[in-house]
């Protein structure tokens, strides 16, 4: 089957006015495609400080933060079930396959603006859609009594067709994964909802807690979305961004989905349940700019001391 | 044209003995595919400290470090000429195209282990092959007198088929880009060769400087490789890694290649020349482990103070 390139992501695009303002003040470096912007140096510092602060919220219990590259093994993604639920958001990495003649043809196609995607083949790597997918393979086997918490950090990628503020395609998430029995996962998530709310309020943000569902695709949309909502499997913490609410942190129970797929067993030999909590660092930084203003020198003194130096 | 997935990158693989040693001591978290390993927390700290130190080598002159996501616009890659020279190393990002029926077919293919790459279409994004590709579009237009230097940082991706130590597929580079006239670029590169050598020697590494050529593909291999060598356009600084030499930093003149392609003009209106210098942070960290040992507490005191706390 020959596929054509995706025009929806290629066309010119109305940039979100907030992003335009940020770019005018060097708080954002506008990317050459929607959703691949870079942060200006002062905002990058805020992200880096929040990475340390959020990671430290549980440092005594979970050990060192695992820092992963943006790339994940394709086998792990396939095993996780992500493509069943979210094929439309996955970014697969493809590489050139061919000899010098095929390459000469590619070069011709480039110069004529033709789609050269047919020279590329699915590789054994994909972009990580969420940090926790790096973690599940490492949890395979038997957990210690009481379960286990892991803190991990990486860039994530979502293949989203939008240039709206807060919906980046490449972004960093500070994530925590819990594996154990149901009660442990539920209690852990509840504690993190409190801890996450307190952290965000401590940044001077107004926080609301909402039940949410994942943007499932295909058959999974009908089968899983309502169930997720009804069974309260996903909460988000949302904060204001210029007149709308932006989800900046999510709190998820997975039942035994990943436990089964990655052979994670509890201390007593039963399949483990898992839960995860993620903080979207670029999103929180954007919310801070919206709340406290684009002049970081005018932010509240305690925030300047914590995040801007 | 139908393409098949790339078995060469998928098969089981002899892991480099040095990487095995590192993984046994939690200094490396072995990825589920070759070349996508993560660093253990103590080594991650070393990388983070070197990022700050190398960036600071010229902070007074070049302003703040630009920190980019791992993803680059496809249009920028096409414009840069990278695919003409290095199609085999590029990683293009593909996304799912199709409706619920196509998705059901994808799910079937996944469960039978079939290649599902044909559902994916070339998107408007690619993985950044080098940090400097983020920078060239930002230099378009007229440079100030004396040219301009930019410091930038991001993850890079190379589609390499190897699991050898030091040849990661996803890795971080601290990079400097210079744009100006020929003499400025040549002097700038020479200064950086001295500065880079001094920095690496200051880490206790033995450093050798070598003429090098890029691993061109296709017709470019014959046309450009020897020329690059003869005209001394590329130098590398190499350091020992377990009985071989590992290139950890490269120093490149580009003539007016990027100046023409990205419409970068000198102060006098002529097309600018460019040069770039990159430090591979994971590679330097691996060389430090090989040189000073896998017990970071036993590293020389000044290095511990600088890189390990």
φ/ψ of residue B254, rounded to 5: -115, 10
Share of chain A above pLDDT 90, in %: 79
- Given CB atoms, is B225 within the 8 Å cutoff of chain A? no
Straight-line distance from the first to the last Cα atom of chain A, in angstroms, rounded to the nearest whole number: 53
List the 189-218 stretch of B: residues with Cβ below 8 A of A.
217-218
Per-residue pLDDT of A196-209, as tens digits, reads: 999 999 999 999 99
8 Å CB contact of A87 and B96: yes
> Chain B residue with minimal CA distance to A159?
B95
Q: For residue A226, report the phi and psi dihedrals to the nearest 5 degrees.
A: -65, -40
User: Which range is least confidently modeled, A168-182, A196-210, A213-227, B155-169?
Assistant: A213-227
- Following DSSP, what letter does each residue of B246-303 receive, concatenated? EEEEEEEE-TTHHHHHTTEE-TTSSBPEEEEEEEEHHHHHHHHHHHH-S-GGGS-HHH
- Considering only CB atoms, A73 lies closest to which of B33, B87, B119, namely B33
Stretch A152-157: mean pLDDT, rounded? 96
Instruction: Give the contacts of B290 (CB within 8 A, at least 6 positions apart).
Output: B18, B240, B241, B242
The answer, for A52 touching chain B at a CB cutoff of 8 Å, is no
Nearest to A178 by CA among A193, A197, A156: A193
ipTM above 0.85, yes or no: yes
Q: Does residue A121 register a pLDDT over 60?
A: yes
Average pLDDT for runs of 10 along chain B of length 309: 34 72 93 89 96 85 84 96 94 94 94 94 96 96 95 94 83 97 97 97 98 85 81 96 96 98 98 98 98 98 96
What pLDDT score does B18 carry? Answer: 94
What pLDDT does residue A9 have?
33
What's the start-to-end Cα distance of chain B, in Å? 54
Nearest-Cα residue of chain B relative to residue A112: B78
SS3 (DSSP) at A10? helix
Kindly tell me if the per-residue pLDDT of A179 is higher than 50: yes
Give residue A62's pLDDT band: very low, low, confident or very high (50, 70, 90).
low
Q: Give the three-class secondary structure for B93.
A: strand
Asked if the Cβ–Cβ distance from B38 to A157 is below 8 Å, we say no
Work out the mean pLDDT of chain A and round it to a whole number: 91
Q: Considering only A169-178, A184-193, A220-229, B22-31, which range has the smallest mean pLDDT?
A: A220-229
Model confidence over A250-293: pLDDT tens digits? Answer: 999 999 999 999 999 999 999 999 999 999 999 999 999 999 99
Separation between Cα atoms, residue B46 and residue B234, nearest integer Å: 27
Residues of chain B contacting A65 with CB distance shorter than 8 Å: 41, 44
How high is the pLDDT of residue B163?
72
Per-residue pLDDT at A88: 92
Q: What per-residue confidence (pLDDT) applies to A58?
A: 78
State the Cα angle at B284 between B281 and B289, rounded to 5°: 125
Compare A220 and B262 and report the one with higher pLDDT: B262
Q: For A130, phi and psi rounded to 5 degrees?
A: -160, 155
Q: What is the pLDDT at residue A129? A: 97
- Residue B6 has a pLDDT of 37
* Mean pLDDT across A73-95: 95
What are the residues whose beta carbons fall under 8 Å from the beta carbon of B141, sequence distance 6 or more?
A: B263, B264, B265
pLDDT of A217 reads: 84
pLDDT(A2) > 90: no
Give residue A7's pLDDT: 34
Distance from CA of B12 to the nearest CA of A (A): 12
Residues 6+ apart with CB under 8 A from B98: B105, B106, B119
Banded model confidence at residue A59, pLDDT cuts 50, 70, 90: low
Q: What percent of chain A has pLDDT over 70?
A: 94
Contacts of B73 (CB under 8 A, 6+ apart): A31, A32, A33, A36, B124, B125, B126
A305 at interface of B, judged by CB pairs closer than 8 A: no
């Amino acid at each position: 089957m020959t596929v054509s390139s995706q025009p929806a992501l290629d066309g010119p695009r109305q940039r979100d006015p907030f992003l335009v303002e940020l770019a005018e003040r060097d708080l954002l470096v506008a990317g050459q495609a929607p959703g691949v912007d870079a942060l200006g140096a002062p905002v990058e510092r805020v992200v880096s400080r929040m990475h340390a602060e959020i990671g430290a919220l549980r440092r005594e219990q979970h050990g060192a933060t695992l820092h992963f590259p943006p790339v994940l093994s394709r086998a792990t993604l396939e095993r996780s079930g992500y493509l069943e639920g979210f094929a439309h958001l996955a970014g697969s990495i493809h590489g050139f396959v061919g000899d010098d003649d095929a390459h000469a043809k590619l070069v011709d196609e480039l110069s004529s603006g033709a789609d050269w995607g047919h020279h590329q083949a699915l590789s054994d790597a994909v972009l990580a859609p969420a940090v926790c997918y790096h973690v599940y393979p490492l949890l395979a086997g038997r957990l210690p009594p009481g379960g286990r918490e892991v803190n991990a950090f990486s860039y994530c990628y979502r293949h989203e067709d939008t240039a709206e503020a807060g919906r980046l395609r490449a972004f960093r998430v500070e994530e925590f994964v819990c594996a154990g029995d149901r009660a442990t996962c539920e209690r852990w998530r509840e504690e993190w909802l409190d801890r996450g709310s307190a952290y965000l309020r401590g940044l001077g943000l107004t926080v609301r807690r909402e039940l949410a569902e994942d943007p499932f695709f295909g058959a999974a949309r009908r089968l899983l979305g309502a169930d997720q909502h009804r069974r309260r499997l996903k909460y988000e913490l949302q904060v204001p961004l210029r007149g709308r609410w932006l989800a900046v942190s999510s709190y998820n129970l997975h039942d035994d989905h990943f436990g089964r797929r990655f052979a994670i067993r509890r201390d007593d030999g039963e399949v483990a349940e898992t839960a995860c909590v993620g903080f979207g660092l670029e999103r929180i930084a954007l919310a801070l700019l919206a709340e406290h203003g684009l002049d970081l020198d005018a932010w509240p003194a305690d925030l300047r001391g914590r995040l801007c130096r």
